[in-house]
Structure 1
């Protein structure tokens, strides 16, 4: 009986000693794998309707002549107005759109030659143009071009004549999204209205008007 008990204890000790070895030889289940969650990326959307206002400095050139007499002059003054448009984001970087603006100007100058004292002025102008831009996240550079309108008036020797002139415009600028809705921009705009004819009590005057403006704008994108 004593021998049987001793044999049982020996068998138990042997089994306990080899159990870890058998457990190590058993196939092990792989640890569960988890895919890394990508960090959220901010998506900047330039698409939508926008409105804004701008202020700047305009440089006007009146290339006037009457009966072979040169009466050209140039002037500069403050410009300020409103704009509205629509952007469509074709790709994450390419933006196309259309825009219209209206600005008041302070362009007025006089010149005397050949017995005629001629005053030239333009009090407002407007642009209807297409835009194409390239964005870098919250920043965009763009070019624009289209139709231009402006009022032109010449007066001299007690007579005056005025008209709304039609021309073309081109320009370029840079714009930034300060927030997802508020934008700022800095741009250069050129307008050319070609030659316009005026009549001052039977005396013909030809005026070739062009205008350059550098302006800063603040807008809101809906």
Structure 2
């Protein structure tokens, strides 16, 4: 399955989640509604792992950390929202054509969210667009540059108090047609960034 098909499936999943939640609200809010309200602004921090591949065990794991800020709106049991994220990875490595290597330290993303609130637990899907700073290593002669790509994933968030919640999230960012130059020859590679994050959000 190519990247475009994956993105289409992710978008359909988000639409289905919103549609299902809205329908449940319209038909029977008393049965399906959430006593806890996820609406409002929030900010938080996260830490986690950025493996080069998802498997058992993980391959070439890099530590990461960052901060987020966003807004949620709850409509019945459905939750929709938007989030901005900035993160640091300690030299996440990508192997490219002709034995080249690029490393990533910084990233940023803007994401949309659609989820289902089960009182103090929220399950959600997320999709958006991100950028990553890629630096040349070894025999790569092209310059460092920011590269963009689509992000999709999902997670679960659990309210601890009325203002504090904890989350666990997986996202994948696909950086397509990333250019490199090695020994005077130009190459192009499709790169994938996996991210597994645990975080705390403060609602206000």
**TM superposition score normalised by structure 2:** 0.73
The answer for unaligned runs of 5 or more in structure 2 is: 1-33, 54-58
Please give the alpha-carbon distance, in whole angstroms, between the structure 2 residues aligned to 1:112 and 1:50. Answer: 38
Larger Rg: 1
Asked whether the 8 Å contact 1:50–1:84 carries over to 2, the reply is yes
The number of equivalent residue pairs is: 166
Task: Describe the shift of the 1:44–1:157 C-alpha distance in structure 2 as closer, same or farther (beyond 3 A).
Answer: closer
| Partner residue, 1:18 | none
Task: Describe the shift of the 1:98–1:113 C-alpha distance in structure 2 as closer, same or farther (beyond 3 A).
Answer: closer
The answer for unaligned runs of 5 or more in structure 1 is: 1-41, 62-73
Q: Identify which of 136, 145, 154 aligns with 2:118.
A: 136
Secondary structure at the aligned position of 2:161 is classed as coil
**TM superposition score normalised by structure 1:** 0.68
Asked whether the 8 Å contact 1:75–1:107 carries over to 2, the reply is no
Q: Whose strand proportion is higher, 1 or 2?
A: 1
Q: Whose helix proportion is higher, 1 or 2?
A: 2
| Partner residue, 2:153 | 171
Q: Where do residues 1-222 of structure 1 align in structure 2 (5 Å cutoff)?
A: 43-60=35-52, 75-91=60-76, 93-109=77-93, 118-157=100-139, 159-200=141-182, 202-222=184-204
